[in-house]
Each structure stands twice: as C-alpha cells, then as structure tokens.
Amino acid sequence: MPKFLKKPMMGRHIIGIYLLSFILLVLIFYYHWVFGFIMTLLFSLSLYYSFKKEKQLVNQTEEYISTLSHRVKKVGEEALLEMPVGIILYGDDFNVEWTNPYMSEFSEEDTLVGENLEVLSSELVSGLKDEDKTDFWVSIGSFDLQVYHKAQERLIYLFDRTRQTELQELYEQEKTVLGIIFLDNYEEMTQNMDDTAKSHINSQVTSILNNWSNEHGIYLKRTSQERFMAVMSQKILAKLEKTKFEILDEVRELITDKNVPLTLSIGIGFGSESLPELGELTQSSLDLALGRGGDQVVIKDDATGKVRFYGGKTNPMEKRTRVRARVISHALKELVKESDQVLIMGHKSPDMDSIGASIGVLKIAQANNVEGFVVIDEDDIDTGVQRLIEEIKEEEELWSHFVDPDEALDIVTKDTLLVVVDTHRPSLMQESKLIQKTKHVVVIDHHRRGEEFIDNPTLVYMEPYASSTAELVTELLEYQPSSLSLNMLESTALLAGIIVDTKSFTLRTGSRTFDAASYLRGKGADTVLVQKFLKEDLDIYVKRSRLIENTNIYRGHIAISVGNYRETYGPVVIAQAADTLLTMTGVEASFVISERKDGRIGISARSLGDVNVQVIMEKMNGGGHLTNAATQLDDMAVIDAYEWLKDIIDEYYEGGEEE
C-alpha cells in the first residue's frame, strides 16, 4: 500500500481540537465535578468513535487496493498473453528465451523458445544488429510487421501492420495515371490518301486501341486525328508494363502488312497528386518519346523522378518533307543575327561528325556576318580526328576560329548564342559551364533523346532518323543566305562526318542522306581526302585485332569482347572493334568492354536492329541509337562491367522493367 494511504486519517488539526477539549475538561472538573464527569464521558465516546471510523476506513482502503492490484495484475497478464502484439525476449546470439502465445500467428513452429531469430527472419536480425534502429519494419511470411526494439532489455514488440500495408498498396494501385497516345507520321502518311483510305486506316487503328483499352480497363478518348487521351490506374499500368506494351507491336505489325509506316508513341505520367502537374508530366513523357524517334513508351514517375522506356524496336522513319529543316534554318538565322557572337560546341572526345557539324554551324554564323568560334580541347582528340585537325591548322583563316574551353569561358557573354551539336547531354559536352553563362542555347543532334537534357533550350533540332548531325547541318546550310560559301576542306569535313556515322553509307542511310552528300560533293568535298582521314595506324589495327580475339559468344548470337587487364584503348578503337564483330556470321549484336585512357571503363554496342542496344546501354547510364550505343563507367573493373552487362542482357530477354 502507498505510504500516503497508511497515514492516520485524523490530521493535526483534529488532534489539536481534542487536546483543547481535554484542557477544557480539566477546567470544568476544577469548577464543577458533576459536569466534568458528564463531559468526560461524552469526550471518551467521541474519541472512541473517531478511532473506530479511522480503522474502518483504513480497512476499506486496504481492501480496495488489494482488489485493484489483483485486477491490474490480471489485466497485465492478459495484455502480455492475450493482446494481439508479438513479444519476444532473446538472449545471446539472438536465441529466443521466451515469447507470448500471439507469436504463433507469425510462425509455423510449435514453439520458438530455443530457436534462433533467423528462423523468423534474417531481415529481423539485421535490424536488431543496427543499434541506431529502435523502430523498423520487417516481413515474415505473409505478414508485414512493425518492430519496436528495446536493446537493453533484449525485448522485441511486433505489431501486425499487414492490413495497413494492404490499404497503402490499394491506395497506390488506384492512383490516377494519365497517358497520351500519338500516331507517329500520321500527317505524312495520310497526306496523299483519299478519304476512303484515310477513313479505313483510322478505323483500323481506332479499333485496335479500343479493344486494347477495353481489355485492360482503360478510359480512352480521341482528342484529334493523331492523338488519344488515356486514363488508368497504377494497377493497370503495372499490368501493361508486364506485357511490355504489346500494343506497339500489334499496331506496327498490322500497319506494316499494308505497307503503311505508322507506329505509336505513348507518354505516361504518374505519381503526382496534382492533376495539372500530372498532365505536364505526361506531355513531357510524350515529348521524350518523340524525341527518341517514336515507336515507344516513356513512363515518368513524379515521386521518384525515374524514367522507364519500352519499345523503340524500329529505326525512326525518314521524313519526306524538308519543311522542318527550312523552318529551323530560318529560326537559327534569326537567332544568329540577334547575337553578338556564336560559340559552337560538340561532345568530349569529338568525332568527325561533331567537328564537321561544328564547322557547318560556323559557316552559318559567318554567312550572317556574325563572329563564330568552335570550342575544342586539343588534349582530348583521338588519332583519327587528329588528321582532320592537322588539315584545319594548315588553313589559318579557319583555324583562327577554333578556341579551347578556357578561352570560350573568357569570351562568352549573355548575348552569345551557344550551339550544341551531336549531343544533348550536359555531362558529355566539351564545357558544360558555358550553358549557364548565356541566355540562348540551340541543340542540333541526331541521337535519340535521353533523360538528361539541357534545361530550357531556345531552339531544338533533334531528328533521330538522320544519319548524322552533319547531315542535319548540311540541310540547314541549303536555306541560308546565298553569300554562304564552303571551301573544299569545310565541305569535306561535313562529308566525313556523314561517311563515318553511316559506315560508308551502309547504316541509317536514307534518301536525304544522299541528297546532303550530293550537295557537299557539289561544293567540292574530296572523297579521297575523307579516306585519308579514315586511314588507321598499324598499331591501332593490331590493338583492335586483340580485342576481337578476346570475344565470347553469349546467348548464341551476342558477341562480347573484353579488353586485357590494364591495357587501355581509345573510344574509336572500341567502336571499330564492335563494328567488325557485327560483320561476323551469326552475330546480331556486339559489345566491346575495355579500359580507357581516362581511367574509365568504355563499352561500345552495335546491333543489326533486332536487339535494342540503346535500352541496354541506358541501363548502364549511357545511350545512343537502336543499333549504335555506348557508355562510360567510373570506379568499376572490366570484369565487373562484363558481369553487369550480362545481367542486363538477361533481363532484356527474360523480362523486367526497362528503365
């Protein structure tokens, strides 16, 4: 019993009253003994009654406390043994010493006493070993449990949160997902069709999409001749991802039978609570899909910022109209005229295409009477490109317009026009700091658009169908002022860019590629000089042969070559080895892995078209085209890169998310 309840009920003031009464009795006896006797009798009775009541109250209190203690003990036992909370006491080495009966809900064992906690979950033991964790979640069988850990007492409380997790999953699954479906090349395909043919193709596509949406529970609404709006849930989206959006193949196969090059591009956004933000995310996904050449699905998750890609199995169709080239050329001319100077920049370790396209943009600036400079780092030039640079140095007038990145940072102003060619990724540019120092940036590129992109460019001319950036720039030159003139070396540099990227007009070559080459040939381009640029040294040939010698065939048709330990190779040698492997019988795709001179691991990938090497390289933080891609890896050994590549190839063939 608590001490305060054991204290006498009569307080000091009561005792004081009795003392005072006793003194008064003495005085009464002194003056009149009869009255004193009567008062003494009454006083005794009152004192007896007070002591009796106090003892009775104490007994009642003790009885109440005893009853309450019993009830509390009983409730405690029930809480310990009957409450739906798992309790575990464990000892050394995480062996179970005692559990309450509720723990049998989470284990098939008759008793856990004496067993190691690993029997329940290795995840649980890992959490207990982390001293900073007092509250964490684990999964045991079909249960999701929240764990409270008292390390000093070696005590664990486990709360069943399975229902809470199910509700959370249900909430996530029912979140709104928006999608925009776009018919690639619809206008070009239907512009020469009569109304009957156009109506037939529309009904075919609409029927396929309606059947697909009904099958998966998607709300589909056609908003224009070439655009549909789709509304679905995240649960439906997950099912579509498991099928890898077979609708792309279904449309492509049906239309191909009719010799009509129509494919779908789908942009999907999810993860945002705000519908306007979800709409912007969806449109951004579609722009990315179209920028990568179409015939694919791009999914953006606002919550994680991740982007996933599906499809992209066909090369982009060449556009038959040059309207866009003329419009871009005119817009570029106006931007050049409004600038105080033009800086042209390609990617690191520039190739023929990058330098040739840079020279072409330089001529556009000069044709509009604006000073232009090409940004290039002479310490980052490969042997093959070095021959072109040596030829440029012999023409002092042309070489005077080449500056290194440090000089470019010194001369750039807010009114400078920065033109980025042959890349759109800031991490790959010669000097990415230039982007922050000017207001206007133009991007001209032929690669499929990746997730990394320049922020808020003024003008973007990206055409994945094009063979090279040099081809795109050559078309822009044709719509510039008549004062524009190309000498032999300048036109040869542009032609070299086209020849290198098309492997001498064998890959990604369309009718407009030959038109551009014809234009350059008419301007004096020397094909013999191009062959001189493309000549290789004997030691490089031997190095490439070593790489080819180290080739293994994986999955029956994929050639993977791994460079020797601590033997470095230039990016051109790696790319040439991959090209050579692709010419071997039975090889549908090739990958060459080796150490580079900059200490990174380089991987060059090539394909005949059945294997999408772009998707594979993007999973390794790279990019490129359907048939031509590459990546560079930091802080990784060659053998680790080889194992990682095989895992990604397996995932590509066997299924899983394509991110």
Partners of 315 in the beta sheet?
none
Residue 143 burial class via C-beta count within 10 angstroms: exposed 0-12, middle 13-18, buried 19 and up: middle
The answer on pLDDT for 75 being more than 70 is: no
List 342's β-bridge partners, or say none.
Answer: 372, 417
Q: Round the average pLDDT of the chain to a whole number and report it.
A: 84
Specify the higher pLDDT residue, 37 or 80.
37
Alpha helices in 432-510 (DSSP H): 433-436, 469-477, 488-501
Task: Answer whether 321's CB lies under 8 Å from 192's CB.
Answer: no
Residues paired with residue 297 on neighbouring β-strands, in sequence order: 266, 310
Q: What CATH number was assigned to the domain covering residues 177-311? A: 3.30.70.270
At the topology level, CATH places domain 323-534 in inorganic pyrophosphatase (n-terminal core) (3.90.1640)
β pairing state of 176-183 and 417-421: unpaired
| pLDDT at 323 > cutoff 80 | no
Q: Is 417 helix (H, G, I), strand (E, B) or coil?
A: strand
| Beta carbons of 431 and 459 less than 8 angstroms apart | no
Q: How far is CA 519 from CA 322, 351, 512, in A?
A: 15, 21, 10
Nearest CA to 578 among 619, 532, 624, 621? 624
What is the structure's pLDDT at 466?
86
DSSP line for 23-84: HHHHHHHHH-HHHHHHHHHHHHHHHHHHHHHHHHHHHHHHHHHHHHHHHHHHHHHHHHHTSS
Distance CA 68, CA 79 (A): 16
pLDDT at 4: 44
Bridge partners (DSSP) of residue 606 are: 590, 628
**Contacts of residue 428, Cβ cutoff 8 Å, sequence gap at least 6:** 347, 348
Tell me what pLDDT residue 69 has. Answer: 63
Q: What span, in angstroms and rounded, lies between the C-alpha atoms of 179 and 281?
A: 10
Could you confirm whether domain 538-654 is CATH 3.10.310.30? yes
Say which DSSP state 518 is in: H
With a cut of 80, say whether residue 147 has pLDDT above it.
Answer: yes
The β-bridge partners of 72 are none
β-partners of residue 178 are: 231, 269
Checking DSSP bridges between strand 372-375 and strand 459-462, what pairing results, if any?
unpaired
pLDDT above 90 covers a percentage of the chain that reads 34
Cβ distance 490 to 463 under 8 Å? Answer: no
The 3-state DSSP class for residue 290 equals: helix
Sign of CA dihedral 651, 286, 188, 214: positive
The two tokens of residue 518 are 């014809």
| Four-residue CA torsion sign, 196, 202, 208, 213 | negative
- Classify strands 459-462 and 440-445 as parallel, antiparallel or unpaired: parallel
Q: End-to-end distance of the chain based on CA atoms, in angstroms?
A: 69
Whether the predicted pLDDT of 450 surpasses 80: no
**Separation between Cα atoms, residue 244 and residue 653, nearest integer Å:** 12
CA-wise closest residue to 648 among 659, 639, 637, 638: 659
CA quadruple 438, 439, 445, 448: dihedral, nearest 10: 110
CA distances from 625 to 61, 445, 534, 560, 642 (A): 88, 12, 22, 18, 21
Residue 361, judged by CB atoms within 10 A of its CB (0-12, 13-18, 19+), counts as: buried
One-letter amino acid at 495 equals L
Question: According to the per-residue pLDDT averaged within each range, which of 30-39, 241-250, 489-498, 526-535 is highest?
Answer: 489-498
Type and span of the H or E element at 590: strand 589-595
Q: Measure the CA–CA gap between 96 and 637, rounded to whole angstroms.
A: 43
User: Predicted confidence band at 659 (pLDDT cuts at 50, 70, 90)?
Assistant: very low
Buried b / exposed e over 527-542, threshold 16 CB at 10 Å, is eebbeebeeeeeebee
Q: Which residue has the higher pLDDT, 33 or 557?
A: 557
> Of all residues in the chain, what percent carry a pLDDT higher than 70?
91
Domain over 86-165 is classified CATH 3.90.76.10: no
CA–CA distance from 468 to each of 478, 497, 501 (Å)?
Answer: 16, 7, 6
Helix (H) or strand (E) holding 200: helix 195-216
Q: Describe the crossing of helices 383-394 and 352-367 by its angle, rounded to 10 degrees.
A: 30
Domains of the chain, residue spans: 3-81, 86-165, 177-311, 323-534, 538-654
Q: Mind listing the pLDDT tens digit for each residue in 53-68?
A: 777 777 777 776 666 5
> Quick one: tokens of 582?
């692709």
Residues 259 and 254: their CA atoms lie apart, in Å, by 9
- How many residues appear in the chain? 659
Biggest distance spanned by C-alpha atoms of the chain: 152
Q: How far apart are CA 653 and CA 642, in angstroms?
A: 17
Fold: same for 86-165 and 323-534: no
φ and ψ of 462, to 5 deg: -120, 120
Neighbours of 27 (CB within 10 A): 10
Query: Rounded CA gap, 41 and 210, in Å?
Result: 108
Q: Which two tokens stand for residue 178?
A: 């928006």
Task: With beta carbons less than 8 A apart as the criterion, state whether 561 and 545 touch.
Answer: no
**Is there a contact between 270 and 278 (Cβ–Cβ < 8 Å)?**
yes
Tens digit of pLDDT for each residue in 277-300?
Answer: 999 999 989 988 887 778 889 999
Q: Determine which of 7-21, 180-194, 227-241 has the lowest per-residue pLDDT on average.
A: 7-21
Average pLDDT (35-49) is 78
Convert the pLDDT of each residue in 347-398 to its tens digit. Answer: 988 989 999 999 999 999 999 999 999 999 988 887 678 889 999 999 999 9
Q: How many CB atoms lie within 10 A of CB 624?
A: 21
